[in-house]
Amino acid sequence: MFLQRNFLSLALVAGILGLASCNKGGEFGKTPSGIEYKIFKSTSAGKYDARDVSADGDATYKDRIGKIMALHVEYRTGKDSILFNSRKQQMGFPVRVPLDTVRKAQKGGLEEAISLLQPGDSAVFRFNVDTIFAKSFRQPVPPFMSKAGKTMTMFVKVDKVQSREEAMADVQKAQVEQQQKTEAHAADQLKKDDVVIQEYIKKNNLKATKDESGVYYVITNAGSSVKPKAGQVVSVLYKGTLLENGKEFDSSAKMGNKPFDFPLGQGQVIPGWDKGIAQFTKGAKGMLLVPSSLAYGQRGAGADIPADAILRFDVELVDIKNAPAQPAGGQMNEADIRRQIEAMQQQQGK
């Protein structure tokens, strides 16, 4: 479900410009488990020399177990489409990976590939897509990956290896810096998005109202006089499209026309929905025009929603219900737990 804040768990690398030239020359090596690789070690002259690894792996890896590796990474499909780029989508901050013993079950997966890397290395890894999803992601290969070919490529540039204490200090510092960058970018982008949305409203002759948050909403069919309150559970039929080109990325129609239920104002959906749906009454139909900073921002969401994308949602507020009462002491009963699990499964399935 694109409204959820869950992000694709693939952590992907950059250093792409340097690695692209490395990837052109030489043959891939191959581990006994089937991982194809090209590993390059930086020299004192600032160049890169190819480095091979033995069939038993990197003998120095044992000295890094228990530490944290900071690296930039990028994943590409078999058709060379970029799935994720850490430099771009993490605003220049590296991915951090705990280093552990490589068990037999992990051979052929991301864990083994990372165990071959030393500080300062750059590398290109090529995996069989069925193997990598089974071993590292423990899930079936998504259809879009299968259609893109039988391989997945990972480009890597290792930044450094640290103790857990050093890594934690770096992460805390990076979080502050990243939050500052995110807020500055969001504020600037909101101004740009507002101009685009106003032009869209004018071009399509829409009667739109702007919420104080920056979301625009259009009521095309009035409902009752009952508006939802924060904490109440709302049921919404919707279709989500990119404002730029009208491409549909999600809809309740794809899920059998079942309304999507969520507690309003609790941060379980994108801010644009929490703010926008609150303006509708029960039974009302209309449209939300959501600036990127109130949707998925600079990161985007998967392959369908690019960075800084303005979103349009055609919505109908089908129902409003009070949230289920919690038992005394905040304990959940069996029915509550079952409902929560079912809701999580439904949302993750979307």
CATH number of the domain within which 322 lies: 3.10.50.40
Q: Does one domain contain both 310 and 194?
A: yes
Q: What is the pLDDT of residue 326?
A: 59
* Six-digit token string for 213: 């948050």
Q: What is the pLDDT of residue 334?
A: 44
Q: Does one domain contain both 277 and 205?
A: yes
Q: Does one domain contain both 128 and 227?
A: no
Q: Does one domain contain both 219 and 304?
A: yes
Could you say which of 211, 249, 314, 336 is catalytic?
Answer: 249
The conformation of residue 244, written as its DSSP 8-state character, comes to: T
Q: Does one domain contain both 148 and 197?
A: no
Does residue 275 lie within any of the structural domains?
Answer: yes
Q: Does one domain contain both 206 and 293?
A: yes
Q: Does one domain contain both 231 and 318?
A: yes
Could you say which of 121, 250, 274, 308 is catalytic?
Answer: 250
Q: What is the pLDDT of residue 316?
A: 96
Q: Does one domain contain both 45 and 110?
A: yes
Q: What is the pLDDT along the chain (350 residues), one digit of tens a residue?
A: 434 333 233 333 333 333 333 444 468 999 999 999 999 987 777 677 888 888 888 999 999 999 999 999 999 998 888 888 888 777 778 899 999 988 887 889 999 999 999 998 999 999 999 988 888 888 888 888 888 899 999 999 999 999 999 999 998 998 898 888 888 988 999 999 999 999 999 999 999 999 999 999 999 998 888 899 999 999 999 999 999 999 999 999 988 889 999 999 999 999 999 999 999 999 999 999 999 999 999 888 878 899 899 999 999 999 999 987 655 544 444 445 444 544 544 443 34
Number of domains in the chain: 2
Q: Does one domain contain both 100 and 237?
A: no
Q: Does one domain contain both 119 and 202?
A: no
CA–CA separation, 312 and 239 (whole Å): 8
Catalytic annotation on 313? Answer: yes
Q: Does one domain contain both 66 and 23?
A: yes
CA–CA separation, 258 and 237 (whole Å): 7
Could you say which of 37, 61, 238, 262 is catalytic?
Answer: 238
| Domain coverage including residue 112 | 16-162
Catalytic annotation on 304? Answer: no
Catalytic annotation on 270? Answer: yes
Q: Does one domain contain both 102 and 245?
A: no
Could you say which of 39, 132, 197, 270 is catalytic?
Answer: 270
- The amino acid at residue 192 is K
Could you say which of 48, 133, 155, 313 is catalytic?
Answer: 313
Catalytic annotation on 61? Answer: no
pTM for the model stands at 0.55
Residue pair 251/1 in contact (Cβ under 8 Å)? The answer is no
